Amino acid sequence: MKIHKEGRKILFFTLLILLVLNMVLYYFNSEHLTFNRIFSGISFIVFLLILQFFRSPYRNLLLHEDLVVAPADGKVVVIENVEEPEYFKDTRKQISIFMSPINVHITRNPVSGIVKYFKYHPGHYLVAWHPKSSTKNERTTVVVESLAGPEVLFRQIAGAMARRIVWYVTEGDEVNQGEEFGFIKFGSRVDIFVPVDTEVKVELGQKTKGGQTVIAQLKTTNSGSIFG
């Protein structure tokens, strides 16, 4: 288990602040030992909670050019056909994964290919399951032309707690399935948009693991399927 690079500075300053607070408390409030011990215990729990949020577990990545893998750990909360207004401007199948604060918040490329479009949108911080969060919240939109042919759009969406989205891709980049394309701090959601004839491989409420769980299979004549 590693600590993700996005969390190292936060963890360092959190630890420093908690240590200073505890030292000051023990020095100036030494007669209230029980209170000091309770505060130390709470400090330890707070640090562990932040530490687990930035964990970066090793993953055996699943690679196959006509499969779409989960871009994040979380739970499938949306599977439906919708109008995608930003890039495709037509009907697409949307699959959304909600990431709670206890999930790993690394976001991964669902397919391999070339980044054809990227845009960052500043916005609000509605709760991630709000119907308008995908169009009103702070978010990024990435479109990759997959090796199988179809273009796949995926979108990082900030939630009520997530106040910073980080991304590592730009237009023209070649990306590999399962590799990191970004990070969302403290809970949010990822939307994936695929052609309507795409075969969905997950169900509502199903838990996903980024880079491992197959969420869909693209229609293509250029590659086979491991599902038979």
Question: What is the pairing mode between strands 113-121 and 174-175?
Answer: antiparallel
Residue-wise pLDDT for 38-79, tens only, equals 888 998 988 887 787 777 777 777 788 899 999 999 999 999
Q: What three-state secondary structure class fits 75?
A: strand
Indicate which residues carry an active-site annotation: 188
Closest CA to 196 of 152, 156, 228, 157: 152
Closest CA to 205 of 70, 97, 72, 106: 97
- Per-residue pLDDT of the chain in tens (228 residues, 90 and over written 9): 677 677 678 788 888 998 998 888 888 877 888 888 888 899 898 888 778 777 777 777 778 889 999 999 999 999 999 999 999 999 999 999 998 878 878 899 999 999 999 999 886 656 555 555 566 678 899 999 999 889 999 999 886 555 578 889 989 999 999 898 888 876 688 999 999 999 999 999 999 998 899 999 998 755 444 433
Q: What is the pTM of this model?
A: 0.77
User: What one-character DSSP code corresponds to residue 112?
Assistant: -
DSSP structure string for 113-175: EEEEEEEEE--B---TTSTTHHHHBSEEEEEEEETTSSEEEEEEEE-SS---EEE---TT-EE
Q: Which two tokens stand for residue 50?
A: 């932040």
The answer to whether domain 67-217 has CATH 2.70.70.10 is yes
Distance from C-alpha of 117 to C-alpha of 56, rounded to nearest angstrom: 27
Distance from C-alpha of 181 to C-alpha of 163, rounded to nearest angstrom: 18
Contact 73, 107 (CB under 8 A): no
Q: Which two tokens stand for residue 90?
A: 């037509």
Distance from C-alpha of 159 to C-alpha of 107, rounded to nearest angstrom: 15
Handedness of CA 113, 145, 149, 72 (dihedral sign): positive
Distance from C-alpha of 159 to C-alpha of 93, rounded to nearest angstrom: 22
